[in-house]
A and B are shown apart, each in its own frame.
Chain A
Amino acid sequence: MKHDFSYFIREGVGNLFSHGFMSFATVGITVACLLIMGTFSLVAYNAEMLLRTLESEYEILAFIDDGNSAAQTQAIGRRIAELPNVKSVEFITRAEAMTAFEDRTLDDYLRANISEDMFRDRYAVFVNDLNLVNRTADQVRAIVGEKNVRVDEDIAGGFILVRNVAGVVSFALIIILLVVSVFIISNTIRLTTFDRRDEIAIMKMVGATNGFIRWPFVYEGFLLGLLSAIFAFALQWLIYASVAKGIDAADTLKFLDVVPFGSIWRPVAAIFGGAGMVIGIGGSLTAIHKFLQV
């Protein structure tokens, strides 16, 4: 039997309207599931971006002994820059280091009593991979001397731990939410299918194939998923933009740099569309399966 697309799509659309309330309920629940998943994913994405920014600002300080000439200091800088995990090296003079300290400290007495002699020239070394920071620090120590390197290994370990935990938790939660969504949608569509079990029984009775019976439900699931994805995407955009605006306006949250929705809307739309259709079609197929065993 040929695939009668126009018939199936007409039946699918017809079913959407003839079972209006259930369609509305299905779309509502799918939108809710997509929004929960989307919001969580976007929070996780922003957290990841924030971590990356913080990581990129993480530095190893390599102090230069006063006895080194300018040429020797430059040679040290080049050697550090050539190390495997080093992203970039920035030379900071003792004067610049003192100015930075003065900017940071709130202690007026301290500020009034420091002098350049108390500081040393140094290199700020930025790394590519925080996991390898200890090895890189050792390599820098081999160049500038054991006691001339300051590296906060606990902070690096903290970043790594936060990123690993966040990655695992995000992945697990997204999978759990996806499975829960398919389950909820499947049950909702099963209710609509239950409502139509007589129609299915009649189709089976007159000799319709399972494939023929299934297709309108597949199209219906597809349309429900697509519709849900569109609504969820629009709502997600609205919520995200409002929250981003709120964070931007709050003085206490200035350190949070929210990724603009305009720069990520394409992948978000694609993921919403894909997830909506997977949930819709998957839910339809699992729901109808039971009723085809006649």
Chain B
Amino acid sequence: MIRLNNIVKEYENGTHALRGVTMKIEDGEFVFLVGPSGSGKSTIIKLLTGEIVANSGRIAVNGFNLMNISDRQVPLLRRSIGVIFQDFRLIEKKTVYENLSFAMRAVGASPRLVRGRIPYVLELVGLSDKTQQFPHELSGGEQQRVAIARALVNNPSTIIADEPTGNLDPSRSLEIMRLLGRINELGTTVVVVTHERDLVNRFQKRVISLENGVVTGDGVSYDAK
């Protein structure tokens, strides 16, 4: 579960990114976090992954109190979250399989567990036949599916996708959103940060709107001003 209570975040340069944000995302939910540039979406992602700390308020993610989290607990928090980025962030020198095994070995998974888990995840994202290919040999949509597979491979309870379709054409974007929907159906909490109104409105899912660092809406549609 993700819970933010009256979160305020001001950066050192004086930017007020969040001005008292409160929201609650239950386990197993699919939520769109929408808003224009500068609305505070990226700040929320950084807060949720323990990259930055809020100035005030209360924030808890998957049982971790992020206002009081120790350096030793941050890796444990991150293992409970899979993050997907707009620019995929794959390692170009590694094959699809190696990108995934790298993410698993980084958290101490045994070679046996790696061998057992990767085929399952690649099948889930529809890339079973691409295991030995390098990222540059794949289309944008396929690369994003590898990134999703990497986010899933350590079996996190939550997936946070930061503009996952920003670099994709509309048909690939839809494909990626459907894949995230399927992952959500398997029980994983999915938070998708985006500003693509049409795409959001195609899915009848919960939409939390942000603007100027405050929550301006919480419903099932994205009504951008």
Contacts and interface: CB of A to CB of B under 8 A. Distances in A.
Nearest to A201: B89
Contacts of B93: 18
A207 B75 contact: yes
A17 to B, nearest CB: 11
Contact of A207 (B79, B89, B91, B102): B79
B145 to A, nearest CB: 16
A176 interface: no
B108 A4 contact: yes
B188 interface: no
A7 B105 contact: yes
B40 to A, nearest CB: 21
B51 A207 contact: no
Contact of B75 (A18, A202, A209): A209
Given A7-B105, A198-B91, A208 B51 contact: no
Interface string A104-134: 0000000000000000000000000000000
B48 interface: no
B144 interface: no
A90 B204 CA distance: 109
Contacts of B77: 207
Which interface residue of B49, B82, B106, B107 has the most chain A CB atoms within 10 A? B106
Contacts of B150: 202, 206
Nearest to B99: A202
Nearest to B51: A294
Contact of B107 (A2, A201, A208, A294): A208
A207 B105 contact: no
Interface string A1-27: 110100100000000001000000000
Interface in B75-89: 75-80, 82-83, 89
A113 to B, nearest CB: 90
Interface majority SS on A: helix, strand, loop or mixed?
helix
Given A198-B89, A199-B91, A294-B51, A206 B154 contact: yes
A186 B212 CA distance: 43
B103 interface: yes
Given A198-B91, A209-B75, A203 B106 contact: yes
Interface string B88-128: 01010100000000110111100000000000000000000
Contacts of A202: 89, 91, 102-103, 106, 150
Q: How large is the interface on A (under 10, 10 to 19, 20 to 34, 35 or more residues)?
A: 10 to 19
B107 A207 contact: yes
A16 to B, nearest CB: 14
Interface in A190-245: 198-199, 201-209, 212-213
Interface residues of B, number: 22
B89 A208 contact: no
A18 B77 CA distance: 31
Contacts of A205: 49, 78, 83, 89
A188 to B, nearest CB: 20
B85 to A, nearest CB: 9
Interface string B20-55: 000000000000000000000000000001010000
A26 B154 CA distance: 35
B91 A208 contact: no
A291 to B, nearest CB: 14
A194 to B, nearest CB: 15
A207 B77 CA distance: 7
Contacts of A7: 105
A182 to B, nearest CB: 26
A204 B150 CA distance: 13
Nearest to B80: A207
A207 B83 contact: no
Contact of A212 (B82, B83, B108): B108
A198 B88 CA distance: 11
B144 to A, nearest CB: 15
A205 B76 CA distance: 11
A212 B51 contact: no
Contacts of A204: 75, 78
25 contacts: A2-B108, A18-B93, A198-B91, A199-B91, A202-B89, A203-B103, A204-B75, A205-B49, A205-B83, A206-B79, A206-B82, A206-B154, A207-B75, A207-B78, A207-B79, A207-B80, A207-B154, A208-B75, A208-B106, A208-B107, A209-B72, A212-B106, A212-B108, A213-B106, A294-B51
Interface of A: 1-2, 4, 7, 18, 198-199, 201-209, 212-213, 294
Given A199-B91, A205-B49, 18 more contacts: A2-B108, A18-B93, A198-B91, A202-B89, A202-B106, A203-B102, A204-B78, A206-B78, A206-B82, A206-B103, A206-B150, A206-B154, A207-B78, A207-B106, A207-B107, A207-B154, A208-B75, A208-B106
